[in-house]
Amino acid sequence: MTTMDKGAPRAGGAVRAPQDFAAGLFLMAVAALALWLSSDLPLGTMRAMGPGMLPRAIAVLVGLSGLVLAASAFVSDGEALTRWHLRGPILILGAVAVFALTIRTAGLIVAGPASMIIASFATDEVRWKEAVIFSVAMTAGCILLFKVALKLPIPVIAFM
């Protein structure tokens, strides 16, 4: 990444990539929240892993990634902070909510494509045909993986 021509012009300062710095801080905050929320789960040992081991390991990795990203903002040039758009986060959270509300009542056959199509509209570059093909293919892959291969009790068609 190079230049100062990306984004809006910025005043001089120690942070050369404000967008990277903000993203790094956000990742560290998410990691801290995950560590706090999983603090009451037993960690276990490497021979007998507890339910808290994976969430904490992922939180540490996310936190370290955020630290590296924030530190790199002092070394290399990057984009300035720009105005946030709420379309993406709202549609992604909406897709998660749709999946949660429909997985038990309609099954994966409906919840999967519905949530993926909603999430695909988080960008203004969405194409209907590609979104539908992707959502159907991913749902078929999820059914094969979770229901057939892993034999998990996930309802595929719940309304029948």
Pick the closest to residue 91 from 60, 129, 122 (CA basis): 122
Could you report the per-residue pLDDT of 104-120, keeping only the tens digit for each?
A: 999 999 999 999 999 99
What three-state secondary structure class fits 155? coil
Residues 66, 142, single domain; the answer is no
**CA–CA dist 21, 3 (Å, integer):** 16
Residues 38, 69, single domain; the answer is yes
Q: What is the pTM assigned to this prediction?
A: 0.64
Give the end of a domain, one of 27, 47, 82: 82
Could you report the per-residue pLDDT of 123-136, keeping only the tens digit for each?
A: 989 898 999 999 99
What value does the mean pLDDT take over residues 13-28? 93
H helix runs in 2-107, sequence order? 18-37, 53-72, 87-102
